[in-house]
Every structure is written in structure tokens, then in C-alpha cells.
Structure 1
Amino acid sequence: MAFPQAPGLVRSAAQRFASAPFSAQFGMVIVSLYAMAAIFAPHLTPYGEAEIVGTQFEPWGSSYWLGTDNLGRDMLTRLIFGARNTIGIALLTTVLAFAVGASGGLAAATFGGWTDQVLSRAIDVLMSIPQLIFALLLLSIFGTSIPTLILVIAVLDSTRVFRLTRAVSINAAVSDYVEAARLRGEGAIWIMAREILPNILPTIVAEFGLRFCFVFLLISGLSFLGIGIQPPMADWGSMVRDTSSLITYGDITPLLPAGAIALMAVSVNLIVDWFLHLASGVKD
């Protein structure tokens, strides 16, 4: 049953892409290339992720297109695997943050009363501490394993998601259609899932893109400081740190992972801007 619909979905996606502005098309192409690099990294790279293939800081050439890093690992290979690790962990962290924060925000807005007060005050306490300092503290205490990194950042970032979800859900919770659902005897879970969530979904989706950028940059920053993604896993933040000394010799190699981070953040923001324009219903 699903297969006959596939050509229609592809055609619709192609039409939507063609109708998008150049900035959004650019963002979608870049994000797609990053996604392909992350998915097919083992098949696109000439060497292993942690394989030492030469001496340290070898120049760009036919053997190593982008040279080698401080341990003699191929930079091109590390860049491609860095897409898988950095983007994959950031995406998983953002999904977890939204699962926690959006659920809490919906519950606070729907139930109100003590539920809203308890959740909101707990979030206020967490948000009163600067996020980077809090992350550094928690990672120093609990270690820097990948599960710990994902959990710590997801919990800290869920506070921002909670705030936004609660704010937009409160407006929807007092609408006439929600009151009508309550009068029909619908339960709170049904109201959250069928009445409130569909009406706030465009805002939540747009926030997901922006929040992904923040998480992506935070993970890269933590890795640059040495407490994010740990070696031998490739990560763009740690790659900037490992090759930063080359800048003093006029070598632009450290700018490659830094540029990959910046290009990813800009591309996602271009797509989010276009999506917000579509969701607003404003015509050009």
C-alpha cells in the first residue's frame, strides 16, 4: 500500500525544494551532504577513524589530501568521521532534550496549579546556573563517557525547551477548542496530544532546528576543552584543538573542522528561517 504513494511523496518533496528560496535550498543541500557523510563515513574514507598513517602534521598532498594531525592520522578521514560523531550525538541529545522538555511543558500548561508551579520552579533553579559552567561541573563529576555527555546536555537543554513549550501551550490551553474538548469529557493526555500539540507543532519544529545548533556548538566547545567527545573518536571540536598550533605557521588546516562547524550551524538556521516563513503563512 505504501509503495504506490512513494513517487507522489518524492514529487511533492522535489516541488517543495524547487519552490524554496536559494538560501533554504543551499541549507538543505549542505545538510544532506553532511547526513550522507555521517551515514556512509566508513565507505567514504581512505583510512580508519583512529588509524595512524604517517608522521605528525604532514602537508597536504596526493597521499593525504588534507594532511595529517598531531598524531599522524589522516585529516580527511577524521573530518568525515567527525560528521558522524558530532552531528549524530548532537541530534540524539536534541531529541532527548525535546522528549523531556516538551513533555514537561505540555504537562505544566495543561494541568496548571501545583504541577505547573513545581515544574517551573525546578526549571528556574536549573536555568539560574550558566549552562556551560553547569555542564563542566557535571561532566567533571560523572565522567565524560558518551551516554553521560548526552544525558547531561539533554537535561540542561530541556530547560529551554520546557520554557518555550509551556509558553506557547498556555496560549493554546485557554482556547475555545480546548475548552470544548474538556466539556466533552476528554482526558488531559488526549487534549495534550490531539488539541494542544498540533497547534504548537510549527513553533516546536523550528525550535528543534535552533536547539540542535546550540547543542551542536556546545558539544564542539566541550570537546575543544577536552571534556566532550573523547579520543580516539573523531570530533570537530577536538580536531580544532589538536591542530591549532599550525595556525602560527600559516597553515589553514585548523580552519577545516572550524569551518565545518560553522557551515552546519548556518545551513540549519537557513532551513529553520524558511520553515518559520512557511508556518507563518506570510506571502512574499
Structure 2
Amino acid sequence: MTVEAFAPVTAPASAAPIARNRPLRRVLASPLTMIGLVLVAFHLSLALFAPLLAPYSISAILTDGLTPPSAAHWLGTDQIGRDYLSRLMSGGRVALLVALAGVSGSVVIGTFLGLLAGYVGGWLDDAIMRLTDALMAIPELLLIAILVLTFGKEIGSLSLIVGIVYTPGVVRVVRAKTIMIASLDFVRAAELRGEGLGFVLMREIAPNLLGLLAVEFAIRVSSAILKISALSFLGLGISQPTPDWGLMVQEAMSVVFTDPWFLILPAITLSSLIIGINFAVDGLARAYGVTGTETDL
């Protein structure tokens, strides 16, 4: 059962499909949200199809290094002669994959732990929240760096690290919302009917978290992409020959005064993805009525 379903005013049966579509309509009604969704869709498509669309292989050394833009190489070549456009097109693939995989894991695990902590309470709540507080006391970049040195920086390891880092925040947000929902009458009614723990959590409380979780997921994907790019810039993340926008910015620092586009282009591309996600998040938050106090970065 959802919170809306327990509202005191009963809508006509014919209005139910309209009510269910209201969040989607609110999302589509905002121009900024639509811009964000288009940007996100563009980057996801680029990540999926870059190997097919790129004019050259991302690792092929084709000419001398740092050649200017030409008909053969629209954005020139990098320091060792690889086509810059091809590498720029593929620069977000690994970061997106790691962010999506890691944040998906954190949302699943964080939701499970948050539901238990918020509904069961007692010693279980104390144990989960003390562990959460301990992890959140460490600055995120420092924690990520420690975990990278521990687990390595392969794609699977980076996804695991992202999951570990973002799970505590999801736990706190879900726990707070669960405590609020658990006090409502329809949850009490389920308890009085003798429904078990699993039924109450999955059928009564969890459906009311979907809007919040959608916003949380998008926010943390945006944050994770920035963190992964920052790690690559610092030499702790994605490494050669895999293209990554953060790594491309780091490599461009040595030629920023002679070939500034090598720095500007990956920075703009990364920024467009983050801006797109943030615009989409804003629309989702408005559509589902999620306030800033409910989300926790």
C-alpha cells in the first residue's frame, strides 16, 4: 500500500491511471528537466555505441603526437598520436559503467539495511547506524583512495568501492523515511492483521520509497562520476590505455598553454553529463515531492 492510497479523499476509479502518471507528466513538463534527460540519453548512447561511431580505435597510434585538427583527425591527436575525437567519445564509458554498477549495489544494500534499521529498531538499528557513522566520518575521497590502494583499480574493484562508499548515505536516508512511514495507519493496520516482517517491509513501506530512491540513485551516480574522474586525474583511478575524461584532463596539463583544447574538451564533456544528471534529478525531485532534507550527500 502507498501513502497516496491511504489519503482521506477517494478518487474515482477512472482517475487512477491519471494519478499514477502524474510524476511522469511533471517530469516532462519542465524544460530544464527535458534538457537534462536529453543530455543523459546522449551520453548513455555515446557510452554504448562509441566503439561503433568512433572513426578510429582508441588505442591506435596513427601519427606523430599533438597534430592539429585536420580532415583526417577532426580534433587532432594526443601526445602519442592517437585520434583525440575517438578517445573523447569513449572517455565516459568506464566511469558511467563503474558509477551505475556501484551505485546500483549501494541502493539495493542501503535500502535493505535502512528498512531493517528504521522498522525493526533496537540493537539492530544501533549496530547498523554505528557502522554507517564510522564510514561516513571518513572523507569520501580519502576513503576511496584507501580502498583503491587495498582492492586495486580494475573496473570490478572500482565498482565495489563505489558501492561501499555510497551505501551509508542510502542507509541513513531510507531509515529516516522508513521511520516516518512506519508510524502511518496503513502500516499499523498490516501489523494488526498479523502480517510478517517481510510483507510489511516489501508491500507496505518499500513502494513508498520508490520516488526517493530514484532521486537518490541519480544524485549518487552524478557524484560517483565526479569522484571517479577526480581519482583518474590524481592517478588513482582509470589508467592508460583506457580513455577517461579525468585522465585526459590530467594529461592535458602539460600542454595547456600550447594546445588548450585538450583540457577544455574533456572538461566540457564531463560537465555536460553532470549538468544533465542534475537537471534530471531536479525534475525527479519535484515530480515525487522529494525535498532537500530527504537526500543526503
Q: After superposition, give the CA deviation of every residue in 1:76-110 in whole Å (9 maximum; x if it has no partner).
A: 11111122222122111111111121111111112
Question: Do residues 215 (structure 1) and 224 (structure 2) align?
Answer: yes
Q: What is the TM-score of this pair, normalised by structure 2?
A: 0.86
Question: Do residues 167 (structure 1) and 176 (structure 2) align?
Answer: yes
Partner of 2:6: none
Q: Does the aligned pair in 2 maintain the 1:94–1:154 contact within 8 Å?
A: yes
- Letter paired with 1:202: G
Partner of 1:3: none
Partner of 2:150: 141
The 1-side partners of 2:143 and 2:28 are apart by 43
Quick one: structure 1 residues 17 and 84, their matched pair in 2 at CA, closer, same or farther if it must change by over 3 Å?
A: farther
Q: Does the aligned pair in 1 maintain the 2:99–2:162 contact within 8 Å?
A: no
Q: Does the aligned pair in 2 maintain the 1:246–1:252 contact within 8 Å?
A: no
Question: Do residues 228 (structure 1) and 237 (structure 2) align?
Answer: yes
Quick one: structure 1 residues 252 and 204, their matched pair in 2 at CA, closer, same or farther if it must change by over 3 Å?
A: same
The 2-side partners of 1:236 and 1:261 are apart by 7
Q: After superposition, give the CA deviation of every residue in 1:198-252 in whole Å (9 maximum; x if it has no partner).
A: 1122111111111111111001111111111122111111111112222222522
Partner of 1:75: 84
The 2-side partners of 1:58 and 1:190 are apart by 64
Question: Do residues 29 (structure 1) and 30 (structure 2) align?
Answer: no
Partner of 1:48: 57
Question: Do residues 126 (structure 1) and 145 (structure 2) align?
Answer: no
For CA contacts below 8 A with separation 6 or more, give which structure has more relative contact order: 2
The 2-side partners of 1:194 and 1:53 are apart by 58
Matches within 5 A, 1:180-259: 180-249=189-258, 251-259=260-268
Q: Does the aligned pair in 2 maintain the 1:69–1:242 contact within 8 Å?
A: no
Q: Secondary structure at the match of 2:262?
A: coil
Q: What is the TM-score of this pair, normalised by structure 1?
A: 0.89
Number of aligned residues: 270
Question: Do residues 95 (structure 1) and 98 (structure 2) align?
Answer: no
- Letter paired with 1:230: S
Q: Secondary structure at the match of 1:231?
A: coil
Partner of 1:265: 274
The 1-side partners of 2:122 and 2:132 are apart by 16
Q: Percent identity?
A: 36
Displacement after TM superposition at 1:16 (Å): 4.5
Q: Secondary structure at the match of 1:70?
A: coil
Quick one: structure 1 residues 135 and 19, their matched pair in 2 at CA, closer, same or farther if it must change by over 3 Å?
A: closer
Unaligned runs of 5+ in 1: 1-11
- Letter paired with 1:150: S
Report the aligned-residue RMSD.
2.1
Q: In terms of mean alpha carbon deviation, does 107-116 or 83-92 score higher?
A: 83-92
Q: Does the aligned pair in 2 maintain the 1:17–1:25 contact within 8 Å?
A: no
Question: Do residues 84 (structure 1) and 101 (structure 2) align?
Answer: no
The 2-side partners of 1:211 and 1:198 are apart by 20
The 1-side partners of 2:147 and 2:42 are apart by 34
Quick one: structure 1 residues 160 and 18, their matched pair in 2 at CA, closer, same or farther if it must change by over 3 Å?
A: closer
Displacement after TM superposition at 1:17 (Å): 9.1
Partner of 2:69: 60
Q: Does the aligned pair in 1 maintain the 2:28–2:34 contact within 8 Å?
A: no
Q: Does the aligned pair in 1 maintain the 2:95–2:228 contact within 8 Å?
A: yes
Quick one: structure 1 residues 17 and 187, their matched pair in 2 at CA, closer, same or farther if it must change by over 3 Å?
A: closer
Partner of 1:9: none
Displacement after TM superposition at 1:264 (Å): 0.7
Q: Does the aligned pair in 1 maintain the 2:68–2:75 contact within 8 Å?
A: yes
Displacement after TM superposition at 1:34 (Å): 0.8
The 1-side partners of 2:287 and 2:167 are apart by 26
Quick one: structure 1 residues 18 and 146, their matched pair in 2 at CA, closer, same or farther if it must change by over 3 Å?
A: closer
Quick one: structure 1 residues 105 and 228, their matched pair in 2 at CA, closer, same or farther if it must change by over 3 Å?
A: same
The 2-side partners of 1:182 and 1:166 are apart by 19
